[in-house]
Amino acid sequence: MAERIIPLTGAANVRDLGGYQNKAGQFVRFKKVVRGAAISDLTAEDASHLEAYGIVKVVDFRSSKEQEKAPDALIPQAENIFLPIFQENQEVSAAPKTLMEQVEAGLDAAQQMREVYRQFVQAAYSRQAYRQFVDILLENEQPDQGVLFHCTAGKDRTGFGAALILAMLDVDQETILQNYLETNQQMVTKRAEMLQQAQQAGASEAMLKGIQEVMQADQSYLAESFATIGKEYGDVSGYLQKGLGLSKRDLTDFRKLYTVVD
């Protein structure tokens, strides 16, 4: 089995979605779709490594503010696509800085996170963004070319995007959850740095608890998305077809592109 984690000096939580087995016994192809956290600090060696890995498109799920503050480092030969998951100035935001500002203002962090995960499904703008993402993946037809998608921490917008891809490929829920929760292992250092900085700045216990809740991948967060899918669309199939407007042919083509019989 090839290694899913792509070790980079200037980016964390960069992982190939390949190798997972679906309910039909097929395996998700390697080097076709890669998830990650921010790639603004890639070294030249990182960029060359991703080019050699076959990355030809980079999809940025962040807000314009996040993008302006930390523009993506360029990967040679790769097209950069800006595809924010939430509408600008929308009340709900998955940007870590905005979430922390809301925690500082006294809002409940876990409650905010569950609302973010509901809005991935309920917000028309977000559904359209994820549909565009699927369309980009449907155009990714060459076997030696891949798409990298990311947000800031590679946890929420990216986490739901990865869950969406694996669900479309008929991977079971337990495996989808495992992929989602792996962010916690990949972001240990980053989370510890944030907590240390907050402690040194004199943050309250409530604030430190809020940072933990905002910066972790929690099973209840992703469960909120799937519960909303069940409530609004009946099941994942209904969400894909009615919520995202995907045809049965789209789903068949997607599985042909991204799975292989070992």
CA distances (Å), 1 to each of 18, 90, 242, in order? 9, 42, 36
Between the alpha carbon of residue 66 and those of residues 8, 49, 84, 93, 230, the distances in Å are 21, 25, 10, 11, 32
In whole angstroms, give the CA distance from residue 201 to residue 219. 30
Tokens representing 153 are 């921490």
262 residues of the chain, pLDDT tens digit each: 458 999 999 999 999 999 999 999 999 999 999 999 999 999 999 999 999 999 999 999 999 999 999 999 999 999 999 999 999 876 566 566 776 676 666 678 888 889 999 999 999 999 999 999 999 999 999 989 999 999 998 999 999 999 999 999 999 999 999 999 999 888 777 766 766 776 666 666 667 777 777 778 899 999 999 999 999 999 999 999 999 999 999 999 999 999 998 7
Q: Residue 178 and residue 175: Cα distance in Å, rounded?
A: 5
Q: b/e per residue, 122-155, with b = 16+ CB within 10 A?
A: bbeebbebbbebbebbeebeeeeebbbbbbbbbb
CA–CA dist 15, 13 (Å, integer): 6
pTM of the model: 0.91
Q: Judge contact between 147 and 140, C-beta under 8 A.
A: yes
Are the beta carbons of 215 and 191 closer than 8 angstroms?
Answer: yes
CA separation for the pair 212, 187 (Å, rounded): 12
